[in-house]
Amino acid sequence: MLKHLTTLAGESVAFTGRAWRPRFELQWMVRRAGGTTTPRGDVTADTTVLVRGTCATWRYGDYGRKERRAANLVRRGNSIAVVHDFEFQKLLEERRPARVCDRIAGQPAQWLVGATARQFQKAAAIGGPLDREHSAIGRIEQSFLRHKLFGEVEEASCSLCGRRLPISLLVAAHIKPRSECSRRERLDAEHVVFSLCLLGCDALYERGLVGVRRGGEICLSEAHDSSILKRLLRAYSRRNCSAWNEGTAEYFDWHLMRRFLG
């Protein structure tokens, strides 16, 4: 992925939020530097650069609809570099390289870019645990697995709590810990991972506080005395895991026997 933007020649630039200069001035400067812009600064299928300013009223908290549109286009194969306005200023006014953001619409950019099967196989060949967000190999593997799980949708459901959420709040989590998987199991992209939310389910499952029995029944740990934790776990009572099937059963069995704190 592009790490620095060094020229605007041939680039199609869009703008979101408020920058250090009025937008019409920035558009004129972009055109003078050899780039193009859309009249309203919109993100289109031709956009290659999105300049990210600031805004107190963005619909999605720390980003708006234009950046969301950019993320969707990247997920579908377009190449769009998101650049903060203060970095873009360096390129426009000082002719210095502008650092490209490593996150788009709240997600690591690498998660949005589809990894090839070959890249995934090389990543899966490496044993042990991986930081799925911050290590280069982890981002490649997570990208491939996420595209398997979520495709091009913007929202999906957590396999444990069932909440339907933006996919930026979901991860492709290994059912059996990656560090314990054989190479064959790491390559089993169809079955070895499931969708978990970052609102608690990922941590609870990873730490063995919830498990999944045969048939998909979610079981709860009684290994802790915390009243708050017990109240939190009660939300999973009488729920079934939507990811359980005959293909994933062996991985859930491993977790239940070896990691779950019964």
pLDDT tens per residue across span 33-91: 999 998 778 999 999 999 999 998 887 777 899 999 999 999 989 999 999 999 999 99
Q: Is the pLDDT of residue 262 over 90?
A: no
Domain count, the chain: 2
3, 14 Cβ separation under 8 angstroms: no
Instruction: Please indicate, yes or no, whether residues 38 and 147 belong to a single structural domain of this protein.
Output: no
Distances (CA, A) of 141 to 174, 180, 235: 11, 16, 31
What distance in Å separates the CA atoms of residue 45 and residue 24, rounded to the nearest whole number?
Answer: 21
Domain that holds residue 63: 4-110
Q: Is the pLDDT of residue 144 over 80?
A: yes
Instruction: Please indicate, yes or no, whether residues 76 and 57 belong to a single structural domain of this protein.
Output: yes
Instruction: Please indicate, yes or no, whether residues 141 and 101 belong to a single structural domain of this protein.
Output: no
What distance in Å separates the CA atoms of residue 62 and residue 72, rounded to the nearest whole number?
Answer: 17
Instruction: Please indicate, yes or no, whether residues 252 and 123 belong to a single structural domain of this protein.
Output: yes
Q: What is the mean pLDDT of residues 107-128?
A: 89
Confidence of residue 115 (pLDDT cuts 50, 70, 90): confident
Q: Is the pLDDT of residue 2 over 90?
A: no
Tell me what pLDDT residue 224 has.
84
Q: Is the pLDDT of residue 252 over 90?
A: yes
Instruction: Please indicate, yes or no, whether residues 130 and 242 belong to a single structural domain of this protein.
Output: yes
Instruction: Please indicate, yes or no, whether residues 47 and 62 belong to a single structural domain of this protein.
Output: yes
36, 12 Cβ separation under 8 angstroms: yes
Q: Which of 110, 125, 160 is the last residue of a domain?
A: 110
What distance in Å separates the CA atoms of residue 194 and residue 183, rounded to the nearest whole number?
Answer: 18
Query: Percent of the chain, pLDDT > 90?
Result: 75
Q: Which of 83, 110, 137 is the last residue of a domain?
A: 110
Instruction: Please indicate, yes or no, whether residues 127 and 236 belong to a single structural domain of this protein.
Output: yes
Q: What is the mean pLDDT of residues 229-257?
A: 95
Instruction: Please indicate, yes or no, whether residues 85 and 137 belong to a single structural domain of this protein.
Output: no
Q: Which of 110, 133, 165 is the last residue of a domain?
A: 110
74, 112 Cβ separation under 8 angstroms: yes
Instruction: Please indicate, yes or no, whether residues 103 and 76 belong to a single structural domain of this protein.
Output: yes
Query: Percent of the chain, pLDDT > 70?
Result: 100
Q: Is the pLDDT of residue 209 over 80?
A: yes
Q: Which of 167, 171, 160, 142 is nearest to 72 (CA)?
A: 167
Distances (CA, A) of 81 to 14, 88, 136, 224, 234: 10, 11, 18, 46, 43
The pTM of this model reads 0.80
232, 203 Cβ separation under 8 angstroms: no
Q: Is the pLDDT of residue 108 over 80?
A: yes
Domain containing residue 27: CATH number: 3.40.50.10190
117 phi and psi, to 5 degrees? -60, -35
Q: Is the pLDDT of residue 134 over 80?
A: no
